[in-house]
Amino acid sequence: MPRLRARRAGADDDVDIDMVPIMNMFLVLIPFLLMSANFLHLKGINTSVPVQAESAAAAPAEVPARVTVVVQLEPGGIRLSALSDAVPGPDLEDLAARLPAAGDDGYPWDALRARLQAIKARYPRSDTMILIPHGGARYGTVVRAMDTARRVDEAPLFPNVVLSGKVG
């Protein structure tokens, strides 16, 4: 009985934890974190414009061939082709395709991704794509095309995207 009484008396005691140091710590940490918070997650995509290069040295014959993929964004879809010094013409013609308009913004991104994956599987050393949007294409669409070409899942596809205006 005395023990029970003592326990009851203990339960009634209001044990106060001293919160002041913790509050002080919060008040110091919160302004610091507010100053270094990043609410807008900005990222970067590297690209380049075509430049006149010095004459390229001939690639050694034993090195596996690589192709440069050319993707033209046209008003009615996407035209795909490939360039290479080391690949015969008929093989390059096999890679060419015309992908008709589809999707919410008029471009068949899934079909393009599948085509690019097939080219990458055939010529694994290839890493460059020339993107030629038509004049009326929106910048957001251009970035989406670059996104589609740069990687699929986690694997790089054509990470070097050269942006070019339409000639002629």
Partner 1 sequence: MALGRRKSRVRAAPPPRLHITAMMDMFTIIMIFLLVSFSDRPQTVELDRDLELPKSAARMDYADSINLVMTRDALKLEGEVVARWDGDRPVGLDPERLQESELYRRLKAYREQADRGGAQGEETKPFVLFFCDRRLRFDAVNQVIKTAGMAGYPNLQFAVLQE
Binding region for partner 1 (CB under 8 A):
19, 22-23, 26, 29-30, 33-51, 133-144, 146-147, 150-151, 163, 165
Q: Say what the alpha-carbon torsion angle 27, 29, 34, 40 is, to the nearest 10 degrees.
A: -150
Q: How many residues does the chain have?
A: 168
CB nearer to partner 1: give 26 or 110: 26
Cα of first residue to Cα of last residue in the chain, in angstroms, is 102
Minimum CB separation of residue 103 from partner 1 in Å reads 16
Shortest Cβ 46–partner 1 spacing (Å): 5
Give the Å distances, CA to CA, from 40 to 36, 37, 122, 139, 143. 12, 9, 39, 20, 18
Can you tell me which residue has the tokens 């590297």?
46
Residue 34 CB, shortest distance to partner 1, in Å, is 6
Nearer to partner 1, 87 or 137 (CB): 137
What does the block give as tokens for 124? 């694994």
Minimal distance in Å, beta carbon 58 to partner 1?
24
